[in-house]
Amino acid sequence: MTVKHLLLEYNKLNEQGTFTSGDILSGRVIVVTSKETKVQRFSVKAKGKAEVTWTDQNGQTTVVHRDKKKYFYFEHIILQDKNKGDGSEIIGPGRNVYPFTFVIPNVDMPSCYEGKWGKITYSLRAQLTQSIWLVHKTKTEFPFLTKSEFPFASKSEIIIIGLKEQQYATSILFLGSGKVTMNVMSEKMGLKQGEAMGVSVEVLNNSARTVTPKFYLCEKQTFVAQSKRIIHTNDILFGTGHSVSAETSRTITSVLSIPPQLPPTFFNCSMMKLEYRLKVILDVPLARDPEIKLPLVILSGSPKPHQQKPEIHVV
C-alpha cells in the first residue's frame, strides 16, 4: 500500500461555501505516497444528479420504483497509462498536489435536497487505479443553490404576484349546541428561511364548548419515477393559541417563525418537488376538528426583522 492518503479539496467562492450555475469549481487532489508509485489511471469527476427510489409491496412481490437524472458530468484525467495497463505513469514519493477546474453549466438546476425517497446531490470524486485489484477512491459533496429566484413558479406567474399578498379563509362548524366560525388571515404567502409571519385567527364561538386554535406547518414531498408517484407529508406543530370559551368571540394573533434550516419550496426538478401549507386547526372536544390550509412558499435567503407586535408568540 504505497498510497497513504487520497484527499479532495475545493475552493470556496463565498462565506457560505455555495455554488450556482455558471460558477467555476476549482480545487485540488492530494496524494500522499510512501515511495514512487505507478498508476494505470488517475482522474477527478464533477457530477450533478437527482435520484428517486421507493418500493411497493404487491402481494408477495416487491416492486422497486427508481429513476435518476444527470444534470452534468465532467471528468478531468490527471494521469493515464499510455500503454494500456503496464502502470507506466508515475507519482513521486511524498505529498503530490494536482489542481483541477470545472465550469458548472449555466442552466436551471435545482438546489441540493434530500427527502424521504429522493435526493439531489452535487459532488466531486477522485479515483486512483494502480491495478484491477487496487483502486483508491474519495468523494465530497458541495452545496449548490439554484440560480432561479422563483424555482416554484416556472409555469405560473400568479404565484409570484401573490407572494406579498394577504391570505384569507373561513371555516364553519355546526354543532348541536350552535356553530363555530373560524376566520384565518396570514400576512403574506412568501416567507424567507428563518422569517416570522403574523397570523390572525378570529373565532366566533356560538356553541357550548371551549375551542382552541393550533398552528401547523405542513410539508409535502412529491416523488415521481416511471410515471408513478408517491407523496410524503409531515406536519410541524408551531404552537397553540389561547382557548375561546363557550358563547364568546376572540381574535388570536400569533407570530409563526419559519425554521432557518427548512429547505425552500421548489418545482424545478422533474422527479421531485417540495411544497408547504400553513394549517390552522380548531380543537373542538368530541367533534371533528375544522381546519384551514393557506398556501405558503418558503424562499431562499436571509429574513428581514418582523415589525408586528403580536398578542402571543408561538415558537
Which residues have CB under 8 Å from 14's CB, separation 6+?
none
Task: For residue 115, report the phi and psi dihedrals to the nearest 5 degrees.
Answer: -115, -165
**pLDDT for residue 149:** 78
Predicted pLDDT of residue 247:
94
Instruction: Report how far residue 70's alpha carbon sits from residue 68's, in angstroms, rounded to the nearest whole number.
Output: 7
CATH class of the domain defined by 3-141: mainly beta
- What is d(CA 180, CA 209) in angstroms, rounded to the nearest whole number? 9
Tell me what pLDDT residue 303 has.
60
E-assigned strands of 132-243?
A: 134-141, 167-175, 178-186, 190-192, 196-206, 212-225, 228-240
Q: pLDDT (tens digit, 0 to 9) for every residue of the chain, 315 residues total?
A: 789 999 999 999 999 899 999 999 999 999 999 998 888 899 999 999 999 999 988 888 899 999 999 999 999 999 887 765 555 688 899 999 999 999 999 999 999 999 999 999 999 999 999 888 899 999 999 999 998 877 876 555 556 667 888 889 999 998 888 999 999 999 998 899 999 989 999 999 999 999 999 999 999 999 999 889 999 999 988 889 999 999 999 999 989 888 899 999 999 999 999 999 999 999 998 888 899 999 899 988 766 655 544 333 333
Residue 87, all three cell numbers: 502502470
Q: Residues in the chain, how many?
A: 315
Q: Do domains 3-141 and 157-314 have the same CATH topology?
A: yes
- pLDDT of 304 reads 61
Class of domain 157-314: mainly beta
- Amino acid 315: pLDDT: 30
Q: Domain boundaries in the chain?
A: 3-141, 157-314
Q: pTM for this one?
A: 0.85
